[in-house]
Amino acid sequence: MQALQYSRHGDPRVLQHEHAPDPQPGPGDVLIKVQATGVNRLDIVQRNGWYTLPGFQLPHIAGMDITGEVVEVGDAVARSLCGQRVVVDPALTGVASNSCFAGWGDVYGRLGILGGTHPGGYAELCAAPASHLYLVPDAMPATTAGAFATVWVTAFHSLTEIGELQDGETVLITGAGASLAMAAIQLAQHRGATVIALARTPTKRQRATELGAVAALDPADANLLAQIGALTDGRGVDMVLDHVGGAGWSDAISALAPGGRLVSCGNSGGDNTTIDSIGAVFHKRIRILGAGLYTRATFGRAWEIYAQNAFAPCIDSQVALAKGSDAQQKMEQGEHLGKLMLIP
């Protein structure tokens, strides 16, 4: 098969579109002909060496967002799956013992992730556990299916299961130009919440309001907190969903109403932060919640909602797999607006 892989860390030029061995699924696995895969931040930071998951090995084939057609099944898998279009849960928790991915399910230790620790969707073919497949509706385009994991399930998990967002609440969503935030805007609206978005460029702020945010603000604006106060009658927001991290935490905590919660599901803007006032945290009864990893059950619930509703994933562009280095460079430079999809 042809794959986009790398054998050393570096800039996007280390990615090579070349021949790689076909995956060898176990009795409990399937072989998928990949139709589309999304580019994620993990793909970038593992390639450049800033961070690697425990168990990561070179050479590496990235791609956690996998959709395609099942073309081969293991001996323990129903043959009726052949020919079915599927999306894949890339987190290898709860994998059966007859899978070649067995033993990689420790969330806080040896956690396997397709495209993270094991070969993923940056290839013509990908092996996956049969237990981690979800059927794609006939009318759904491959790029729509491929845009689901991991941003939509992460947004769903963070908003609903960790943050417990309720109908009538107000949520502040940071980094609104990112795919995860765009998914979160739509999901929050679906739950009956009011959304205020933060984004640094006019184009990204416009997109956030088009998706349904009542306001999109510049996080660098000196009057940011006053603007949030005016939008919430001085009360503040009930929740902040933050995937950026870095310097924005102080404003996020200040923007929260008493009893509010800050849900952290990423650190794309930096791993270190400073909080202006610990007192504000305990006086206002602020809860700081780490989203952690979703469960298989959560993936299934999120996919059901996604597949049954007319959500519109924001897709920046479709790029041929052989040009995947260009897509990664575009993400690394922050020039994208929505999901970058690679097509083998």
Domains and their CATH numbers in the chain:
2-148+313-343 (3.90.180.10), 151-290 (3.90.180.10)
DSSP-assigned beta bridge partners for residue 127? 31
What pLDDT is stored for residue 110 in this prediction? 81
**How many residues does the structure list for the chain?**
344
What pLDDT is stored for residue 311 in this prediction? 87
DSSP-assigned beta bridge partners for residue 194? 170
SS3 of residue 306 by DSSP: helix
- Number of Cβ within 10 Å of residue 323's Cβ equals 14
Asked if residue 245 lies in contact with residue 268, where contact means CB atoms within 8 angstroms, the answer is yes
What pLDDT is stored for residue 30 in this prediction? 98
Is the pTM of the predicted complex or chain greater than 0.85?
yes
What pLDDT is stored for residue 112 in this prediction? 95
Asked if residue 310 lies in contact with residue 285, where contact means CB atoms within 8 angstroms, the answer is no
CA atoms 110, 116, 120, 121: torsion sign: positive
**Alpha carbons 195 and 171: distance in angstroms, whole number:** 5
**Alpha carbons 255 and 236: distance in angstroms, whole number:** 5
What pLDDT is stored for residue 155 in this prediction? 97
What pLDDT is stored for residue 157 in this prediction? 97
What pLDDT is stored for residue 48 in this prediction? 97
Burial class of residue 318, CB neighbours in 10 A (0-12, 13-18, 19+) = middle
Distances (CA, A) of 119 to 190, 254, 304: 34, 42, 26
Mean pLDDT by 10 residues, the chain (344 residues): 98 98 97 98 96 95 98 97 98 94 86 96 98 96 95 96 97 95 96 97 95 96 97 97 90 95 90 82 92 94 93 93 97 90 97
